[in-house]
Structure 1
Protein backbone atom coordinates (compact mmCIF):
# COMPACT_ATOMS: atom_id res chain seq x y z
CA UNK A 1 0.00 0.00 0.00
CA UNK A 2 1.09 3.56 -0.67
CA UNK A 3 1.25 4.40 3.05
CA UNK A 4 3.89 1.76 3.67
CA UNK A 5 6.04 3.29 0.95
CA UNK A 6 6.10 6.57 2.87
CA UNK A 7 7.30 4.77 5.98
CA UNK A 8 9.96 2.83 4.06
CA UNK A 9 11.20 5.94 2.25
CA UNK A 10 11.46 7.74 5.60
CA UNK A 11 13.40 4.84 7.12
CA UNK A 12 15.77 4.81 4.14
CA UNK A 13 16.31 8.56 4.36
CA UNK A 14 14.64 9.31 1.03
CA UNK A 15 12.72 12.20 2.52
CA UNK A 16 11.85 13.88 -0.77
CA UNK A 17 10.12 10.73 -1.96
CA UNK A 18 8.44 10.19 1.40
CA UNK A 19 6.96 13.68 1.47
CA UNK A 20 5.95 13.54 -2.19
CA UNK A 21 4.08 10.29 -1.55
CA UNK A 22 2.55 11.65 1.66
CA UNK A 23 1.17 14.73 -0.10
CA UNK A 24 -0.24 12.44 -2.80
CA UNK A 25 -1.93 10.30 -0.14
CA UNK A 26 -3.52 13.39 1.38
CA UNK A 27 -4.72 14.68 -2.00
CA UNK A 28 -6.29 11.33 -2.84
CA UNK A 29 -7.98 11.01 0.57
CA UNK A 30 -6.50 7.58 1.21
CA UNK A 31 -6.22 8.08 4.97
CA UNK A 32 -9.98 8.31 5.41
CA UNK A 33 -10.23 4.63 4.52
CA UNK A 34 -8.34 3.62 7.65
CA UNK A 35 -9.46 3.42 11.28
CA UNK A 36 -8.40 6.44 13.34
CA UNK A 37 -5.66 4.59 15.22
CA UNK A 38 -4.00 3.56 11.96
CA UNK A 39 -4.32 7.08 10.59
CA UNK A 40 -2.61 8.50 13.67
CA UNK A 41 0.20 5.92 13.55
CA UNK A 42 0.80 6.75 9.88
CA UNK A 43 0.72 10.49 10.60
CA UNK A 44 3.42 10.04 13.25
CA UNK A 45 5.62 8.47 10.58
CA UNK A 46 4.85 11.37 8.24
CA UNK A 47 5.79 13.73 11.08
CA UNK A 48 9.21 12.05 11.20
CA UNK A 49 9.66 12.71 7.49
CA UNK A 50 8.84 16.41 7.93
CA UNK A 51 11.31 16.62 10.82
CA UNK A 52 14.03 14.96 8.80
CA UNK A 53 13.36 17.50 6.04
CA UNK A 54 13.74 20.31 8.57
CA UNK A 55 10.11 21.39 8.14
CA UNK A 56 9.03 22.07 11.73
CA UNK A 57 5.77 23.69 10.63
CA UNK A 58 4.77 20.66 8.54
CA UNK A 59 5.86 18.32 11.33
CA UNK A 60 3.83 20.21 13.91
CA UNK A 61 0.76 20.38 11.69
CA UNK A 62 0.93 16.63 11.00
CA UNK A 63 1.51 15.77 14.65
CA UNK A 64 -1.48 17.84 15.77
CA UNK A 65 -3.62 16.17 13.09
CA UNK A 66 -2.55 12.76 14.42
CA UNK A 67 -3.62 13.84 17.91
CA UNK A 68 -6.98 15.13 16.66
CA UNK A 69 -7.56 11.83 14.86
CA UNK A 70 -6.69 9.50 17.74
CA UNK A 71 -5.55 11.26 20.93
CA UNK A 72 -4.89 8.08 22.91
CA UNK A 73 -2.73 6.69 20.13
CA UNK A 74 -0.51 9.77 20.22
CA UNK A 75 -0.36 10.01 24.01
CA UNK A 76 0.62 6.35 24.42
CA UNK A 77 3.33 6.01 21.79
CA UNK A 78 6.92 6.67 22.86
CA UNK A 79 7.65 7.83 19.29
CA UNK A 80 5.03 10.56 19.67
CA UNK A 81 6.65 11.89 22.84
CA UNK A 82 10.01 12.01 21.06
CA UNK A 83 8.48 13.85 18.10
CA UNK A 84 6.64 16.29 20.37
CA UNK A 85 9.88 17.06 22.21
CA UNK A 86 11.81 17.61 18.97
CA UNK A 87 9.17 19.93 17.55
CA UNK A 88 8.73 21.80 20.83
CA UNK A 89 12.49 22.45 20.92
CA UNK A 90 12.20 24.09 17.51
CA UNK A 91 11.92 27.82 17.44
CA UNK A 92 9.17 28.70 18.10
CA UNK A 93 6.75 25.82 18.63
CA UNK A 94 3.25 26.43 17.33
CA UNK A 95 0.59 26.98 19.99
CA UNK A 96 -1.09 23.64 19.21
CA UNK A 97 2.20 21.79 19.59
CA UNK A 98 2.99 23.63 22.83
CA UNK A 99 -0.42 22.64 24.23
CA UNK A 100 0.15 19.04 23.18
CA UNK A 101 3.60 19.05 24.80
CA UNK A 102 2.09 20.32 28.04
CA UNK A 103 -0.71 17.76 27.83
CA UNK A 104 1.69 14.81 27.57
CA UNK A 105 4.19 16.29 30.03
CA UNK A 106 6.99 17.07 27.59
CA UNK A 107 8.86 20.19 28.57
CA UNK A 108 10.90 22.37 26.28
CA UNK A 109 14.57 21.94 27.07
CA UNK A 110 17.40 23.90 25.63
CA UNK A 111 20.52 21.95 24.62
Structure 2
Protein backbone atom coordinates (compact mmCIF):
# COMPACT_ATOMS: atom_id res chain seq x y z
CA UNK A 1 0.00 0.00 0.00
CA UNK A 2 2.93 2.34 0.68
CA UNK A 3 3.88 2.37 -3.00
CA UNK A 4 0.33 3.29 -4.01
CA UNK A 5 0.34 6.08 -1.42
CA UNK A 6 3.64 7.31 -2.85
CA UNK A 7 2.26 7.29 -6.41
CA UNK A 8 -0.78 9.27 -5.26
CA UNK A 9 1.55 11.72 -3.48
CA UNK A 10 3.59 12.17 -6.66
CA UNK A 11 0.47 12.75 -8.73
CA UNK A 12 -0.69 15.26 -6.12
CA UNK A 13 2.63 17.06 -6.50
CA UNK A 14 2.14 17.22 -10.26
CA UNK A 15 -1.42 18.50 -10.00
CA UNK A 16 -0.36 21.05 -7.39
CA UNK A 17 2.21 22.51 -9.77
CA UNK A 18 -0.31 22.45 -12.61
CA UNK A 19 -2.85 24.43 -10.59
CA UNK A 20 -0.14 26.72 -9.25
CA UNK A 21 0.66 27.70 -12.84
CA UNK A 22 -3.03 28.27 -13.56
CA UNK A 23 -3.45 30.36 -10.39
CA UNK A 24 -1.33 33.19 -11.88
CA UNK A 25 0.55 33.86 -8.66
CA UNK A 26 -2.49 33.08 -6.48
CA UNK A 27 -4.51 35.80 -8.23
CA UNK A 28 -7.11 33.32 -9.50
CA UNK A 29 -9.08 31.80 -6.66
CA UNK A 30 -10.22 28.38 -7.86
CA UNK A 31 -6.83 27.26 -9.22
CA UNK A 32 -5.12 28.64 -6.09
CA UNK A 33 -7.41 26.61 -3.85
CA UNK A 34 -6.89 23.54 -6.04
CA UNK A 35 -3.11 24.02 -5.75
CA UNK A 36 -3.34 24.16 -1.95
CA UNK A 37 -5.61 21.11 -1.77
CA UNK A 38 -3.30 19.19 -4.11
CA UNK A 39 -0.27 20.13 -2.02
CA UNK A 40 -1.93 19.06 1.22
CA UNK A 41 -3.07 15.82 -0.38
CA UNK A 42 0.43 15.18 -1.69
CA UNK A 43 2.04 15.68 1.72
CA UNK A 44 -0.61 13.55 3.42
CA UNK A 45 -0.05 10.57 1.13
CA UNK A 46 3.72 11.04 1.31
CA UNK A 47 3.46 10.85 5.11
CA UNK A 48 1.44 7.62 4.83
CA UNK A 49 4.07 6.08 2.55
CA UNK A 50 6.82 6.98 5.04
CA UNK A 51 5.32 4.56 7.57
CA UNK A 52 6.77 1.69 5.51
CA UNK A 53 9.34 3.14 3.10
CA UNK A 54 12.77 4.60 3.84
CA UNK A 55 12.67 8.41 3.79
CA UNK A 56 15.42 8.72 1.18
CA UNK A 57 13.69 6.35 -1.22
CA UNK A 58 10.24 7.84 -0.72
CA UNK A 59 11.42 11.43 -1.04
CA UNK A 60 13.52 10.68 -4.12
CA UNK A 61 10.65 8.94 -5.87
CA UNK A 62 8.12 11.59 -4.80
CA UNK A 63 10.24 14.43 -6.16
CA UNK A 64 11.07 12.39 -9.27
CA UNK A 65 7.42 11.80 -10.08
CA UNK A 66 6.65 15.45 -9.39
CA UNK A 67 9.59 16.80 -11.40
CA UNK A 68 9.35 14.55 -14.44
CA UNK A 69 5.56 14.68 -14.48
CA UNK A 70 5.47 18.46 -14.18
CA UNK A 71 7.95 18.91 -17.02
CA UNK A 72 5.90 16.57 -19.20
CA UNK A 73 2.69 18.44 -18.29
CA UNK A 74 4.40 21.70 -19.19
CA UNK A 75 5.39 20.36 -22.59
CA UNK A 76 2.01 18.80 -23.34
CA UNK A 77 -0.39 21.38 -21.92
CA UNK A 78 1.52 24.66 -21.78
CA UNK A 79 3.46 24.04 -25.02
CA UNK A 80 6.86 24.42 -23.33
CA UNK A 81 9.97 23.45 -25.26
CA UNK A 82 10.31 19.70 -25.90
CA UNK A 83 13.95 19.54 -26.95
CA UNK A 84 16.00 16.36 -27.10
CA UNK A 85 18.02 17.45 -24.07
CA UNK A 86 14.94 18.03 -21.92
CA UNK A 87 13.49 14.66 -22.86
CA UNK A 88 16.86 12.97 -22.26
CA UNK A 89 17.17 14.40 -18.76
CA UNK A 90 13.55 13.54 -17.93
CA UNK A 91 14.51 10.00 -18.90
CA UNK A 92 17.42 10.23 -16.45
CA UNK A 93 15.04 11.24 -13.66
CA UNK A 94 12.67 8.40 -14.52
CA UNK A 95 15.50 5.86 -14.62
CA UNK A 96 16.64 7.09 -11.19
CA UNK A 97 13.14 6.65 -9.81
CA UNK A 98 12.94 3.13 -11.25
CA UNK A 99 16.37 2.37 -9.78
CA UNK A 100 15.27 3.51 -6.33
CA UNK A 101 12.19 1.31 -6.57
CA UNK A 102 14.27 -1.69 -7.60
CA UNK A 103 16.66 -1.42 -4.65
CA UNK A 104 13.89 -0.92 -2.08
TM-score (normalizing by structure 1): 0.30
| Larger relative contact order, structure 1 or 2 (CA cutoff 8 Å, min sep 6) | 2
Bigger radius of gyration, 1 or 2?
Answer: 2
TM-score (normalizing by structure 2): 0.32
